[in-house]
Amino acid sequence: MNVLNAKPNIVHNFLVDLEKNRKLKVIITQNIDNLHQLAGSKNVLEIHGSMYQNYCMNCHKKYDIEFIFNSKDIPLCICGHLIRPNVLLYGERLPECFNTAIDWITKAETLIVAGTSLTV
């Protein structure tokens, strides 16, 4: 889950170009790696969350990704409780942005599905 060294590829960059040329309105992704934003995409719905957003399970203090992966042990908040990534885990409810994604999909003139086996 350590995505600190992941870099956008040619496809991420192509999608940025499409967005800049107003050919792409939104990216809906299940990826948790933030690569679309790192490439420069502005309108991204991360329906499974992001490893770049982390929070204390007790007091909800926010922590960045560097804090998580630079911790020597299990990352703990200053209040002493566990910090978890803001990602969707099996059995958890889908976030509100899922409904927004459905709205975008139902209104789309063209839909590009890429990088998935569509098996889950």
The model's pTM is: 0.84
Query: How far is residue 101's CA from residue 3's CA, in Å, rounded to a whole number?
Result: 24
Which residues of the chain register pLDDT less than 70?
Answer: 1, 120
Residue 48 known to be catalytic: yes
Note the pLDDT tens digit of each residue in 70-102. 999 999 999 999 999 999 988 999 888 899 999
pLDDT at 120: 66
Which amino acid type is present at position 69? Answer: F
Sorted by sequence, the CB contacts under 8 Å of residue 102 that are 6+ apart come out as none
User: Element (H or E) spanning 24, and its range?
Assistant: none
Longest dimension (CA), the chain: 49
pLDDT of residue 118: 75
Q: Whole-angstrom Cα distance, residue 25 to residue 68?
A: 32
- In angstroms, the CA 60 to CA 111 distance is 36
pLDDT of residue 87: 93
Q: Where are the beta strands (DSSP E) in the chain?
A: 27-29, 44-46, 49-56, 62-63, 83-87
Catalytic option among 12, 36, 48, 60 = 48
